[in-house]
Structure 1
Amino acid sequence: MLLCLFLLLAHILGEFRNRDSSLLEAAASTHHLIHLMASFSPFFPGLTDGDTISPDQDQLTGTEGKSVTMKCNYQTDESYIYLYWYKHDSDLRAPQFILWKRAKGSTDEHIPNKRYESRTTDTSTELIIRELTLADTALYYCAIDTQ
């Protein structure tokens, strides 16, 4: 009886696949989407009253194997700035450091994992993640430090 049910199910699925393979492909491809969220972080006590940082978009979706770019806009009168990115993928542990990069004319940076890249301007910081995997699904924080 169990073998008959299995064969019947296999036959039905085979017929469905033959009739509408594009629907199955579309459904399968949704499993390869990576959901990313960005937020600002008030981690650093060196900020002054006029310093702000906030994400350009609250949520992004990327495709496995492709690249995605997240952006945060910031405002400060300071000229000695560090911009940070963190990844928070579990409520059971603290956000994990990804990178820091200087801005406003400096090229100093520390990026341990070369899948990540950062671009900065006088008003924004970007985090580029290459070759997305499902493990990249997380909440990402951008932060500014004006030491």
Structure 2
Amino acid sequence: IDLMLMCIYYVFGLTDGSDVTQTPLLWTKEGQSATMSCNHTKDATYYQMYWYQQLPGQNMKLIVFTTTTPPHKYEEGFSEEKFPAQKKVAQTGSLTVNNSKPEDSGLYFCAVSEHSDAAD
């Protein structure tokens, strides 16, 4: 029997308005990679992007904080090898899940924030 497991990624965007759009639903076969994109229509001061993962029955976890100037900041338990992120311009970014496994299936969120000198 050829058993094919699917990984499902639901993607949501978060800001203080409805200015973020993302890949809404993504299916992939086990072992393949899946790339989710996130775009916003705010100005270029909103160049900070956060990617979150929420697995079934678990709390949301931050995967990575990205800006237009790498390196990106990965949280403990997440690696650039498994979750490579791209952020070349302020208004768009992407997150890839490499070597998809059924346990990677869940909700993935992107959020954008404005650069603040107070945060430095």
TM-score bin (small chain):
0.7 to 0.9
Q: Does 1:98 align with 2:66?
A: no
What's the TM-score once normalised by structure 1's chain length?
0.66
CA distance in 2 between partners of 1:67 and 1:95 (Å): 21
* 67-76 or 107-116, which deviates more: 107-116
* 107-116 or 123-132, which deviates more: 107-116
State the 1:132 CA deviation: 0.8
Aligned residue in 2 for 1:11? none
CA distance in 1 between partners of 2:6 and 2:52 (Å): 21
CA distance in 2 between partners of 1:59 and 1:72 (Å): 12
CA contact (8 A) 1:89 1:137 kept: yes
Higher RCO (CA < 8 A, seq sep 6+)? 2
Please point out which of 122, 130, 133 is paired with 2:101: 133
Q: Of Structure 1 and Structure 2, which has the larger fraction of its residues in strand?
A: 2
Name the count of aligned residue pairs.
110
What percent of counterpart residues are identical?
Answer: 18
Which structure 1 segments of 5+ residues have no match? 1-23
State the 1:144 CA deviation: 0.3
Aligned residue in 1 for 2:38? 72
State the 1:108 CA deviation: 4.1
Aligned residue in 2 for 1:111? 74
State the 1:143 CA deviation: 0.3
Please point out which of 124, 132, 137 is paired with 2:92: 124
Report the CA distance shift for 1:58/1:80 in structure 2 as closer, same or farther (over 3 A).
Answer: closer
Aligned residue in 2 for 1:89? 55
Q: Of Structure 1 and Structure 2, which has the larger fraction of its residues in helix?
A: 1
Off by >2 Å, runs of 4+ in structure 1: 78-81
CA distance in 1 between partners of 2:36 and 2:11 (Å): 7
CA deviations on 1:18-42 (whole Å, 9 max, x unpaired) are xxxxxx43xx22xx11011100124
CA contact (8 A) 1:111 1:117 kept: no
Please point out which of 98, 111, 114 is paired with 1:143: 111
CA distance in 1 between partners of 2:71 and 2:41 (Å): 19
Aligned letter for 2:110? C
